[in-house]
Amino acid sequence: MRAKNLLNLLNLLIKKRAHVLRNPMIYTLFRRYGLVTGVGSGVYRSIQQIRAATGEEPQLFIEGSEFVVAIPRRKENG
């Protein structure tokens, strides 16, 4: 899949809050101990928290064979 298509797909999945349960055994264990809140909400919640903390969007891009998420820094006051 081409990088631009992958990023478009990822952005669509994030906006639609789509999720895929990749490892049910680990999810079940973490759920029992209260370490997760729901399937697939992590990426969406992370992006919302980054927006709230920095006022900016995280940058998603492909670099070589790696998928990169660049999280902006919070602006310093003064």
Could you report the per-residue pLDDT of 33-46, keeping only the tens digit for each?
887 766 666 677 78
Cβ within 8 Å of residue 62, ≥6 positions away: 3, 6, 7, 68
Looking at the structure of the chain, the number of domains it has is 1
Could you tell me the residue range of the domain that residue 55 belongs to? Answer: 3-70
At 69, is the secondary structure helix, strand, or coil?
strand
Asked if pLDDT for residue 28 goes beyond 60, the answer is yes
What pairs with residue 68 in β-bridges?
Answer: 61
- The backbone region for 55, taken as left when phi is positive above 0, alpha when psi lies in -120 to 50, beta otherwise, is left
0.85 exceeded by pTM: no
Q: Is residue 64 part of a domain?
A: yes
Q: Is residue 48 part of a domain?
A: yes
Asked if pLDDT for residue 18 goes beyond 60, the answer is no
Q: Is residue 25 part of a domain?
A: yes
CA pair distance 43, 49, nearest whole angstrom? 10
Using pLDDT thresholds of 50, 70 and 90, give the confidence band for residue 1: very low
Q: Is residue 28 part of a domain?
A: yes
Q: What's the pLDDT score for residue 3?
A: 59
